[in-house]
Amino acid sequence: MFAKSLYCRPCLQRLSRTSTRNFTSSSPRRKHGALSSFTPTSSPELDALLSTFRTNIFLPAHLLKLQQNLIYRKKNRRLLTDIDEPATAKIDNEVHALKPLNRLTDEPSTSKSLAQMVELCKEGKDWVNMVPFLIELKTAGRKIKGPQFEKMVRRMGEKGGLGVIMEMARRVEGTGMRLGEIGIAREAMWGAVMKYIRSEQTENAVHDAHKFIEAIWELLSDERHVDRAATGKKASDPKTHPEIIGVLLWIHALKASLLSNNQDADGTVKRAAEMVLAVWNRDEKPTNNNNTGDDENTTNWYDANKTLIMWAPVWHGMKMARGIVGENTVLGRELTNAISLDLEPKLKKAQRVVAQHVGEDVTRRGLVVYDELSKMAE
């Protein structure tokens, strides 16, 4: 059956004798597949936001061009507001009511809505909607920029949503979230560190952090995330950044220290330490690329806080690794130099800066990580 509004007036009069206003279309003619559904959440506000996006943005993206013209053109408004004969479209096995839409007033902002979604997600069942939501956004042509993904991943990491981050990364073709963007890769890694230090730090917590970090590291070799052939730039590869390798070193050293009696049986600690020092020695270290200001009274707490979250895990990982490989080995002495000459002075200065900008109800993520890892290193 086809809609009256797709034909000239005489044709509509002739079709009206036998046609209902049901817009069906066989799947081969559709650009996209079935429209994603969202599961109920713990927040009525979040449910309403998801429903608005599904009706006003995602559904139109699944319609044929003629059907899109029908809902967006003002002259067709009367045809879509007929109470006695509502217009519908059938997609897959679901029938959707069609209504007139105004792109300026009926479509919510992508960036603001994403931030709102992350804030409203409180329970595990709330997070399960994130991946289908991102897939539908991409289908609708809504682009999410790297900094937006970075902020999303940071908030998810703070809330313990590592499973959703992993699913977003694994389904990169649909979600569009590429770990090749260094900010996103950093936030994913730091999320695992944050979750561990906020946990009971049990054996299971170590295994969970190890599994997540290893999986992210493997995905960084996936061309869907890092197209090395296209860029030809080592700087664009997160696997060449010491703060990324440093988190890998941290989890391998933590696992060896807590679960293997400080033994590096499989050599993963040694390999990770050599990898981070290899990039360290080409001057990609905190002293050269992170400004916290030379004046310890500086108010530039934001950069100082970033220094703490970026380099505290590397510092802790190096300290544990040094105890595992031996302080008097060549590798141990190189780790000592990186710790004492590069990391500790920078971290202590950053800690003083950030400490001046916390209050009774104000915490800083970098300071939390540094303080907790410092306790673990004692």
pLDDT digits (tens, 9 = 90+) for 116-130: 998 999 888 899 999
**Residue type (1 letter), 375:** K
Helix (H) or strand (E) holding 34: none
pLDDT at 56: 96
Q: How far apart are CA 209 and CA 329, in angstroms?
A: 28
pLDDT at 166: 97
Contact 20, 86 (CB under 8 A): no
**Residue type (1 letter), 202:** T
The segment with the largest mean pLDDT, out of 62-66, 111-115, 168-172, 288-292, is 168-172
Give the C-alpha distances (Å, rounded to integers) separating 202 from 184, 209, 344.
27, 11, 27
Q: Which two tokens stand for residue 307?
A: 């220094």
376 phi and psi angles, rounded to 5 deg: -65, -30
Over 80: is that where the pLDDT of 90 sits? yes
Name the pLDDT band for 162 (thresholds 50, 70, 90).
very high
Helix (H) or strand (E) holding 310: helix 301-325
Contact 281, 210 (CB under 8 A): no
Q: Which two tokens stand for residue 375?
A: 């306790």
With a pLDDT cut of 70, the percent of the chain lying above it is 85
Contact 273, 249 (CB under 8 A): yes
Over 90: is that where the pLDDT of 32 sits? no
Name the residue among 122, 195, 194, 118 with its Cα closest to residue 150: 118
More confident residue, 195 or 74: 195
pLDDT at 295: 46
Contact 162, 156 (CB under 8 A): yes
Give the C-alpha distances (Å, rounded to integers) separating 360 from 340, 357, 363, 364.
32, 10, 8, 11
Mean of all residue pLDDT scores within the chain? 86
More confident residue, 360 or 167: 167
Name the pLDDT band for 300 (thresholds 50, 70, 90).
confident
Integer-rounded Cα Rg, in Å, for the chain is 27
- Stretch 168-187: mean pLDDT: 96
Give the C-alpha distances (Å, rounded to integers) separating 308 from 176, 178, 296.
29, 25, 15
Report the DSSP pairing between strands 94-97 and 88-91: antiparallel
Strand order across the beta sheet in which 22-24 lies? 22-24, 88-91, 94-97
Give the C-alpha distances (Å, rounded to integers) separating 306 from 157, 191, 290, 292, 329.
15, 14, 8, 9, 32
How many Cα neighbours within 13 Å face the side chain of 94?
13
Contact 226, 220 (CB under 8 A): yes
